[in-house]
Structure 1
């Protein structure tokens, strides 16, 4: 006697009690075909989308760096934060360019030496970009909250020191990337740049700390400081409008009630 599992394709009963035969092999084939088509579309989009981001990003950040360091804007402390931020973003885009070159047959990323250097550079640039944004936001908050103290607190020398400290801390804090990344065996026997299996547990802890230090804490700081900046600007705007309204009212009263003429 034939078992239920060997009785052929599954049967599906609709509301009118008609029997519909569903061929599981045909359904699986349709799903795999749709998945392959989606992957092709994503690859096509990824190829051109990344190319556009890299081209415009490299050109834009290069121009930003030159403007903030080669013009009169270099006299402002905030320009140094923006120049360093442009340089960090430029470094990350260049590492992204090397990865993108795999699409055109230039495989540098999956080579020993290049793999570790690119992983380290991308980690440093992304982390440094976040904390430079935090430092720039702090300076904006000082300028709005304490405008009279700003010339003494936000100096070019102090900006250079902060940028140097952030750079040194980030460079030294990501040295582990040079040891945890390497060439491993990927699918179809290809050598790929990936996390070495011996450091899986270590990187689990590192990724948790990295998420806290480069996402959670900076996000909270930026949101709080931007909220304080917006609050101060609103208060300043209301105070300015109130004073302007009083000035207009006093001017109108002066025009409506002129001084009486003296008789001879």
Structure 2
């Protein structure tokens, strides 16, 4: 896949010139980039505002449960991911040629990928917690305790930083060697990412989501005899199912893209697809919709 050094040298100062003259293809490409960036900014603003509102609503809840704690954590990680992507917008839209920006973009990508990894696994943890409370309601207070969830979040945060540490190799000093090492790209960026950042979480969440949907269907059969507490739990489960469904749709796209990346690396071919932009767009949509 193309890196920063492969992108055209288009600076912000050149935008007006490209829009005003020269050739139609360049005008079209530049207009497309501006539309794409405007769309990204809109999604980020929508997502950040939505997550902040979610935090405000969740803070007002009197119930100090693992569900509320994990949803707060998810809103925070989603917000961090969206904000961390702001610095990558110029590079993603191929609108930079400044060497200074190229020197720090690897750090921005590292922080963004770490936030993305953490968000993904927090969603998995939210799914597991909801499943435990639905499938094992009597044992849930013992299995899914607040202390265990806090430890799990801290552990996931540390693992996310460690797992993404090889991305430090993308800094300019060793960028060429990094991209020329086809085995490293195929194993880490494609295969491991496919397993731990996309495919693995998607499979886990999909299986548990199906079980949650089945449990909701079963509860509706006995809806007439349900208590108010049971109805409230069913509503909470339905909310979780909608959040998880958005995650599954967005992640399936990203999983397909990882498979394309892996094929390109192994077959040593370039399909010339703008799959990186599609992947990032899907991740942004997911974090913006978890509200």
The aligned counterpart of 2:140 is 150
Which is bigger in relative contact order (C-alpha 8 A, separation at least 6)? 2
The aligned counterpart of 1:95 is 84
Cα pair distance change 1:201/1:66, threshold 3 Å: farther
Cα pair distance change 1:149/1:108, threshold 3 Å: farther
1:204 corresponds to which of 186, 193, 209: 186
State the structure with more CA Rg.
1
Say which SS state the counterpart of residue 171 (structure 2) adopts: strand
What is the alpha-carbon root mean square deviation over aligned residues? Answer: 3.1
| Long gaps (5+) in structure 1 | 1-32, 185-192, 245-264
| Long gaps (5+) in structure 2 | 1-22, 227-291
Deviations 1:29-84 (A, max 9, x none): xxxx664354133112112111211222222223334544x434571211222222
TM-score, normalised to structure 2, is 0.60
The aligned counterpart of 1:181 is 170
**Whole-angstrom distance in 2 between the partners of 1:206 and 1:43:** 29
Aligned length: 202
Give the C-alpha shift of residue 201 in structure 1.
2.9
Give the C-alpha shift of residue 163 in structure 1.
0.8
Say which SS state the counterpart of residue 168 (structure 1) adopts: helix
Query: Where is the helix percentage greater, Structure 1 or Structure 2?
Result: 2
Asked whether the equivalents of residues 123 and 174 of structure 1 are also in contact (C-alpha less than 8 Å), the reply is yes
**Whole-angstrom distance in 1 between the partners of 2:25 and 2:215:** 52
Equivalences for 1:189-228 in 2 at 5 Å? 196-207=178-189, 208-228=191-211
The aligned counterpart of 1:79 is 68
The aligned counterpart of 1:44 is 34
Cα pair distance change 1:95/1:106, threshold 3 Å: farther
Asked whether the equivalents of residues 130 and 214 of structure 1 are also in contact (C-alpha less than 8 Å), the reply is yes
